[in-house]
Amino acid sequence: MLKIKNKFNTERDISGCGLCGIINAKKVKTNGSDIKKAISVEHDRGNGLGGGFAVYGNYPDYADLYAFHIMYDNLSAKSDVEEYLRNNFIIEKEEPIPTFKTAKIYDHPYLHRYFIKPKSDRQDKLFHDLEDDDFVVNSVMLINQNYDGAYVFSSGKNMGAFKGVGYPEDVADFYRLEEIEGYMWTAHNRFPTNTPGWWGGAHPFTLLDWSIVHNGEISSYGINKRYLEMYKYNLALRTDTEVITYILDLLIRKHKIPVRLALSVLAFPFYNKIDKMENDKKMLFTALRQVYGSALLNGPFAIVFGYSGGMVAMNDRIKLRPLVAASNGDFTYVASEEAAIRAVCQSPDMVWSPKAGEPVAVEFDDIKEKTSLKGGLLSL
Amino acid sequence: MTKSSFSNIQSEYLAVIDHNKCVRCKRCIQNCGWGTYSFGGDKIIADHSKCVACGRCYTYCPEGAISIIKNPTVIRENANWQEPLVKNIWRQSETGGIVISGMGTTFKYKKYFDHILLDACQVTNPSIDPLREPMELRTFLGKKPSKLDFDFDERGEPVLKTKMPPQIELQTPFVFGAMSYGSISLNAQKAMALAARALGIVMNTGEGGLHDDLVPFGKNIIVQVASGRFGVHRDYLNSGVAVEIKIGQGAKPGIGGHLPGEKIGIDISRTRMIPVGTDAISPAPHHDIYSIEDLRQLIYAIKEATDYEKPVSVKVAAVHNIAAIVSGIVRAGADIVYIDGYSGGTGAAPIVIRDHVGIPIELALAQVDERLREEGIRNEASIIAAGSIRSSADAIKAIALGADAVAIGTAALIVMGCHVCGKCNTGNCSWGITTQRPELVRRLDPEVYGERLYNLISAWSHEIQEVLGAMGVNSIESLRGSRERLRGIELTDAELKALGIKHAGL
C-alpha cells in the first residue's frame, strides 16, 4: 500500500513540476535518450519524488492490443487482478516490465505488463453492450478502485507509461529508456508539496491512448471533479492530472468534440473576446461555455497531452506557468524551459512561447491525410 | 363576550422627543406612516404604542430630536416564557386570530453561512488580481444540454448543430426576488427595474401582474404565475425574459396569500385583473396542480404559450424532502428552479408558519445540487438560491454550494430604507415600500433608490471578484458547485455531511 496508493488523507494531490515533449510528425522513431537529456536539464523543477515518461509507437508487434502496465504492492494483489483479467480479457502476452537496478531507484513495486483485448463473450456483456474502449476504461477504474495493492498506470495501444518515484533521469535509467523506441515522447519531473513518495502519483497519467503530463494546480478542481462524477468517472487518484485526462476523455472520446474545441474548453476564451467574434462563432463559444463551464480548468497549468493522433501542449487562460515550443523539421519540441529543448536540439528552426490558452497542436502526417477526408473531425 | 377595554400588550418601543431640540416643524408627523405623532398645541406628542421602530422619523428629523428606544419596562424575564410568546398569547386572547407578520423569521436559528469559511491561494497556485486581470461573473440561467453536437462547414470548421434552449443572461449572478405589486409599491418595483436594467440582471414581478409602466423593462423581468393567476394573460407571459411558476415561498411554505380588498385600488385592480376593493386571495395550492404530473402540464402550457422561447422557472420553498421534490420538478421540464429557504421574506405570513416551517437554504441547496448530480441531471436546470442572502459572502457560499445565482429580496428593501420592522402586512410602511397609500408611495423615488440598488449589487459583485481572485480562478463557473473551496467551522458531522463539505483543518 505504501508504494502505489496515496496514503495521505488529502482531497487531492498538489505539485509543481517540469515537463517536456518531443514528437516527430512523420513517425520517425527515436530512442529515449533525447527525452531523458531534455528533462534532466529541468532537474531543479522536481524534488525527486516523481518522474515519468510516456512513449508512443513502442509496441509495434502488439499494436492492436491494449498494453496494460500494472504496479503491484504484493503478489497476492497480482493474482487477484490476473484472475479478473483472465475472466474478461484474452491475454496474448504477459511479462515483467524490464527494469534495471540503479542506486537511485529503490523500494519499487512489482511492475508487470499485459498485452490484452476484451473477450467478446465477457460476463459483462450480459448487462451492457459496451465498446471495447469503454470496457477497458471501466476495468481500469475498477482495478484501481477495488483491488488493494494494484494500480493500472498505462492502458493504451502501442504506447506505454514508465514512471516512478525519483528524478526522471534516474527513472529513465531504471526502465533503460535508451533501449525503447518511439515517435512521440513526453516526460515529467514532479515537485509534490503534500504527498511524498508515491509511485501511482507520478506522471504521466494515462487512460487508453491519452497521456498527460502537467505542471500546475487546478484551482477549479472541486467542480471539475464533481462534474466528472456526474458522468460516472471515478476520481480515485485525486490528482489534477487525472481530472484533465478524464475531461479530455469525456469531451473528445465520449462527446466527440473536435480536439481544437475540446482544448478551448480547458482554457475558454474570455467573454470580452467571444462578444467580438462573428455571429456563428460567438454562438458556438457561448454555447460551449454554457454547457461545459464546469469543465474549464481554472488556475495555473501547462500540460502536454499525447494521444494516438498527435500531441498538444497548452497553457491556462492567463498563462500562469511556463511553456516553450520549438520546431525543427518534422520534430516539434515543447518544454517548461527553453534550455531543455536546446539541450537536444541546439538550433531549432523556430522557438516560441505559446500564448495563454492557445494550444500548440501537432498531428501525425498520416492522421492528417485520413481526417481531412472526414470533414476535419480532428483538424487542428 | 365583552371586549376588554385595555390591552396587556405594552408598547415595544418608545419614541422619545427632546423638546429642547424640537423646533415643532412637524416633519415627524408627516413622515410616520403609523400615526405615532400628533401636535398637542405647543409640542409634539408621541403615542408609543404605535411605534414599530421603522426609523423614518429620526432619519428625517432635521434637529436630531428623536430617539427610538426599546421600552425599558420589563416583562419579567423567563428563558422559557419569553416575551414574544407571552405577548402573542395576549394578542391572540384579545383577537382570537392568527398572528400575522411581515419579513422573514426573527428566530435565532443557526445560520449555516456563518459557519462556512472560504479558501484562498498560497504559494502552490497564484491568486489573481481582479484589478489587473479579467474576472468573469457572467451567468446564464436555463436548461443546458448534457453535450453539444457539431456540423462542419465547407472549410471544415465546426458549426454548432445543437439548438440551445433559451437562457437568461445575467452580467452578475444576482436576481431580485419576487415581490408583487400590491405587496410592495409600484415605485419600489420601478427602482428594482431601473437597477436590473443598468446591471444587466433581472427582477421578478411576483404574483401581482405587470404594471404598464414596467412593460418597457421586459428584458429585465421575470413574470410570475402563482395560484391566484393574477394578471396572467398571453401578453403578460410573453412580456418578460422568463416565466416563473410560484409553488411556494420560504417564509410560508404550503400556504397561500391574501391581499385585502382595501389595498386593491384602481391601478392594482387593472394590473391584477380583479375588481376594485375585492380581496386578492391566492389559494394554498394551485388548484390545477395536485401532483408533479400536473406541474408538467402547466410548465408545457406556458412553454406553448411562449413558443418555447422563454425558460420556465419553478419557485419552491425549502422543505424537508426538497431534494426529491426538485428532482421531480426538473424532470417535469423546469428550466430553472428557485429555492427559497425558511428565513426568506414575505409581505405577510402567519408567524406559526414563518417561524417553524421549512429548512435552511444552505442545507436545501447542498442536498438539491448533490441529488441532481447523482441523477445526472444537474445540467437540466439552473438553481437560484434565496432566503436571506445578506452579503456577498452569503452569495459566494451559496454559489460554491451549487447555486447558479442568488436572489435578493429583503436586502433590496433595506436599500430603500427598510429597517426590517416586520410590519409589511399593515400597509403603513413609512418608507413607501410595502404600502399603497399614495402620500407614502410618493416619497420613494425610483431613480434615487434604483441607483442605490445598482451600487449595492455592483459592490457585491466586486467583492465576489476579489474572492474569486484570491481563490485563483477568474470565472464564476469555476466557483459554482466547487465545495472543495469551502470548510465548515463549529459544525457537527451530520451538518457537514448535509452540506457536503469538510471541517476546517481537513
pLDDT of residue B1: 43
Query: What ipTM, to 2 d.p.?
Result: 0.91
Q: Which residue in A4, A17, A251, A325 is the catalytic one?
A: A17
Instruction: Calculate how close chain B gets to A169, using CA atoms only, in Å.
Output: 24
pLDDT tens, position by position, A323-380: 999 999 999 999 999 999 999 999 999 999 999 999 999 999 887 655 443 333 333 3
Q: Which residues contact B332 (CB under 8 A, 6 or more apart)?
A: B292, B293, B295, B296, B299, B314
Q: Which portions of chain B are predicted below pLDDT 70?
A: 1-5
Q: Which residue has the cell 515537485?
A: A191
pLDDT tens, position by position, B13-63: 999 999 999 999 999 999 999 999 999 989 999 999 999 999 999 999 999
Cα separation, A242 vs A222, in Å, equals: 13
Q: Is B287's Cβ below 8 Å from some Cβ in A?
A: no
Q: Which B positions 163-182 lie with beta carbon below 8 A of chain A?
A: 164, 167
Q: Is B503's Cβ below 8 Å from some Cβ in A?
A: no
CB atoms within 10 A of CB B79: 5
Torsion of CA A244, A249, A250, A255, to 10 degrees: 140
Q: Is B481's Cβ below 8 Å from some Cβ in A?
A: yes
Q: What residues in A contact B149, CB-CB < 8 Å?
A: 256
* Partner-chain contact A220 B478, CB within 8 Å: yes
Question: At the topology level of CATH, where does B139-503 sit?
Answer: TIM Barrel (3.20.20)
* Partner-chain contact A223 B478, CB within 8 Å: yes
* Partner-chain contact B477 A293, CB within 8 Å: yes
Pick from B152, B167, B482: CB nearest A290:
B167
Pick from B148, B152, B502: CB nearest A291:
B148
Q: Which B positions 104-123 lie with beta carbon below 8 A of chain A?
A: 121, 123
Pick the residue from chain B with its C-alpha nearest to A376.
B156
pLDDT tens, position by position, B473-496: 999 999 999 999 999 999 999 999
Q: Which helix (H) or strand (E) holds B13?
A: strand B13-17
Residue span(s) of chain B under CATH 3.30.70.20 come to 13-97
* Partner-chain contact A318 B474, CB within 8 Å: yes
Confidence of residue A130 (pLDDT cuts 50, 70, 90): confident
Q: Which B positions 346-375 lie with beta carbon below 8 A of chain A?
A: 373
Q: Which residue has the cell 492567463?
A: A318
Domain at A15-373, CATH from 3.30.70.20, 3.40.50.300, 3.40.1280.10, 3.60.20.10: 3.60.20.10
Could you list the beta-strand ranges (E) of B260-366: 280-282, 312-317, 336-340, 349-350
Which of B18, B58, B20 is closest to B36 using CA atoms?
A: B58
Q: What residues in B contact A11, CB-CB < 8 Å?
A: 484, 502
| A34 within 8 A of A215, measured Cβ to Cβ | no
Residue A12 has pLDDT above 80, yes or no: no
Tell whether omega for the bond before A204 is within 30 degrees of 0, i.e. cis: yes
Which of B353, B330, B405 is closest to B249 using CA atoms?
A: B353
* Partner-chain contact B473 A219, CB within 8 Å: yes
Could you list the beta-strand ranges (E) of B119-274: 139-141, 150-152, 158-160, 168-170, 174-178, 202-204, 221-225, 242-246, 257-259
CB atoms within 10 A of CB B89: 14
Instruction: Calculate how close chain A gets to B15, using CA atoms only, in Å.
Output: 53
| Strand B242-246 with B312-317, pairing | parallel
* Partner-chain contact B148 A9, CB within 8 Å: no
Give the three cell numbers for residue A14. Answer: 498538489
Cα separation, B480 vs A226, in Å, equals: 11
**Percent of chain B having pLDDT more than 70?**
99
| Strand B202-204 with B174-178, pairing | parallel
Report the predicted TM-score, pTM, of the whole model to 2 decimal places: 0.92
pLDDT tens, position by position, A44-81: 998 888 899 999 999 999 999 999 999 999 999 999 99
Measured CA distances, A160 to A168, A207, B217 (Å): 16, 10, 61
Domain boundaries, chain A: 15-373
pLDDT of residue A196: 62
* Domain B13-97 falls under CATH 3.30.70.20: yes
Q: Is B138's Cβ below 8 Å from some Cβ in A?
A: yes
Pick from A9, A222, A294: CB nearest B484:
A222
The CA-based angle B306-B310-B314, given to 5 degrees, is 105
Is A17 considered catalytic here?
yes
pLDDT of residue A5: 58
Average pLDDT over residues A186-191: 92
Average pLDDT over residues A6-12: 51
Cα separation, B431 vs B413, in Å, equals: 10
Give the three cell numbers for residue B207. Answer: 404574483
Cα separation, B202 vs B189, in Å, equals: 12
Pick from B156, B479, B482: CB nearest A379:
B156
Residue span(s) of chain B under CATH 3.20.20.70 come to 139-503
Q: What residues in A contact B160, CB-CB < 8 Å?
A: 280, 283-284, 287
Q: Which A positions 2-31 lie with beta carbon below 8 A of chain B?
A: 9, 11-12, 14-16
Q: Which residue has the cell 396569500?
A: B257
Query: Could you tell me if residue A370 is left (phi over 0), alpha (psi between -120 and 50 degrees) or otherwise beta?
Result: alpha
Alpha-helical runs (H) found in chain A: 33-41, 75-88, 132-146, 168-175, 221-230, 240-248, 259-266, 271-274, 279-292, 338-344, 365-373
Q: Which A positions 264-303 lie with beta carbon below 8 A of chain B?
A: 268, 270-272, 280, 283-284, 287-294, 296, 298-300
Cα separation, A296 vs B475, in Å, equals: 9
Average pLDDT over residues A35-43: 94
pLDDT of residue A4: 62
Q: Is B131's Cβ below 8 Å from some Cβ in A?
A: no
* Partner-chain contact B126 A288, CB within 8 Å: no
pLDDT of residue B338: 98
Cα separation, B318 vs B339, in Å, equals: 6
